């Protein structure tokens, strides 16, 4: 059974899982079914990403992409970009000017703490970690849930 679970882990580790999923029947535990959620998707253009506003504020700054505990976590006012967060990320918040998260919801622990601190935050930004590069300058309007990838080319 342990070897079976390790093999399952290897399979899932290589997959990009949907934000929400359920399993169907114990006999078919390998199959994941995405729960379709109704979320308005705004497709402005290739220079804009959208998500869910958690705490308003407008910030234009360099981003720091942190995807794992092994990444460089030295922060000095950058906008923190992550795939997902948990309560262990909260000590980083005082060192950032904004927070952009690919997954998550307004009720996640990290989002609640960000609101308590008044930290501009957007969550649920599909494709964020694939589109934003470490050191890139972006502008985030957390009140509207919009990330401008090329703020210097804006009118």
d(CA 149, CA 146): 10
Asked about 19 being catalytic, the answer comes back as no
How remote is the C-alpha of 121 from its chain's centroid? 10
- If we measure between CA atoms, which residue out of 103, 2, 107, 121 comes closest to residue 56? 121
- If we measure between CA atoms, which residue out of 46, 143, 63 comes closest to residue 100? 63
- If we measure between CA atoms, which residue out of 20, 52, 15 comes closest to residue 30? 15
In the chain, count of helices (H) and strands (E)? Answer: 3, 10
The DSSP symbol for 25 reads T
Name residues whose C-beta falls within 8 Å of residue 88's C-beta, 6 or more positions apart in sequence.
Answer: none
Q: Note whether 84 and 101 are within 8 A (CB).
A: yes
Annotated catalytic residue within 109, 131, 144, 150: 109
Task: Tell me which residues are annotated as active site.
Answer: 109
């Amino acid at each position: 059974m342990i070897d079976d679970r390790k093999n399952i882990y290897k399979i899932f580790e290589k997959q990009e899982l949907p934000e929400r999923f359920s399993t169907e029947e114990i006999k078919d535990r390998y199959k994941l079914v995405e729960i379709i959620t109704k979320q308005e998707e705004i497709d402005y253009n290739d220079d804009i990403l959208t998500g869910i506003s958690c705490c308003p504020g407008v910030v234009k700054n360099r981003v720091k992409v942190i995807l794992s505990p092994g990444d460089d976590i030295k922060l000095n006012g950058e906008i923190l970009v992550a795939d997902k967060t948990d309560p262990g990320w909260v000590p980083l918040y005082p060192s950032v000017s904004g927070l952009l998260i690919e997954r998550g919801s307004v009720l996640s622990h990290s989002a609640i703490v960000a609101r308590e601190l008044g930290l501009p935050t957007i969550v649920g930004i599909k494709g964020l970690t694939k589109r934003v590069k470490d050191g890139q300058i972006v502008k985030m309007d957390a009140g509207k849930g919009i990330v401008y990838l090329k703020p210097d080319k804006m009118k």
